[in-house]
Amino acid sequence: MLVDVDMSAKTVFAKTYSLGNTDKPRNLEVLDKWHRILNQPAPDKPDAISPESYASAQPTLTASAFSGLDTLMTSEFQLVLSSGSFSSPLIDVVADIDNFYGDSGSPFYNPVNLNAGLDLGTYTLQPGVLAVGQSYMWRMRYRDKNLRWSEWSDTLQFAVTPVGLAENEMTNSLEVYPNPNTGDFTISLPQNTTCIAIYNATGQLIEKSEGNIQSLMNVTLHEIGVYFVIVNSDNTTYKKKVVVCM
């Protein structure tokens, strides 16, 4: 190992070298390196981008790219119920850009970075973690190779909708008016509509019509909340979020 210490600049740079062995000779190959820079600023605060407001039950948490004077080392994502606290998160995932706990196998067993190509700015929730109808909050932060953490991103909140009804899957080609409304609204349907269904935010079917449906459909709902209109026409599915606020 070679260590370079600069007391005036308050920096330490270290490298480890290898000569290899009889099976795998190395000519002073650098195997690892690290550094500490005492007064270097932490990475910039990231932005939490999506999901916000609504998401499917298996969303991908997405943040802005890493930014800072050093290079990226680690990201951390936290998720809690909207009524919970980040001091006791449901999800707390830390991932490093390097993970050399893999190997290439026989005969040389060279180290393999298991996280090669991993996007540290995203994290996809596993099935069964989130519940339809529940609301959650999430945030994230980055750490650089100087071991400085950024500030946490601002917190985003979203409600989990039925499968396939995530907000980014809504369409503007289905007209609902007025929206928001007080419970009475009209749906302007595309030609050859064969089925229309309305779900609440927990995935419960509220109303469904099939067959020969007129081009305009008047709907009355009696409870405030968020609803999702699903229309099938000519092998195309249209989706629209409707807000009822008495």
123-170 tens-digit pLDDT: 999 988 998 778 899 999 999 999 999 999 999 988 887 655 545 455
Q: Rounded to whole angstroms, how far apart are CA atoms 88 and 86?
A: 5
Lowest mean pLDDT among 28-42, 58-72, 133-147: 28-42
The mean per-residue pLDDT over the stretch 11-35 comes to 84
Domain with residues 170-244, CATH architecture: Sandwich (2.60)
CB-based contacts of 87, cutoff 8 Å, min separation 6: none
Domain spans, the chain: 1-39, 42-160, 170-244
Same fold: 42-160 with 170-244? yes
Mean pLDDT across the stretch 234-238? 78
R_g over Cα of the chain: 26
The candidate with the shortest Cα–Cα distance to 136, out of 34, 224, 58, is 58
Q: Which of 164, 180, 150 shows the shortest CA–CA distance to 245?
A: 180
User: Mean pLDDT of all residues in the chain?
Assistant: 86
pTM of the model: 0.64
pLDDT at 245 over 70: yes
Topology annotation, domain 42-160? Immunoglobulin-like (2.60.40)
Instruction: Kindly state the tokens that stand for 68.
Output: 């800072």
Q: Which two tokens stand for residue 243?
A: 């807000």
Model confidence pLDDT, tens digit, residues 168-188: 455 566 889 999 999 999 999
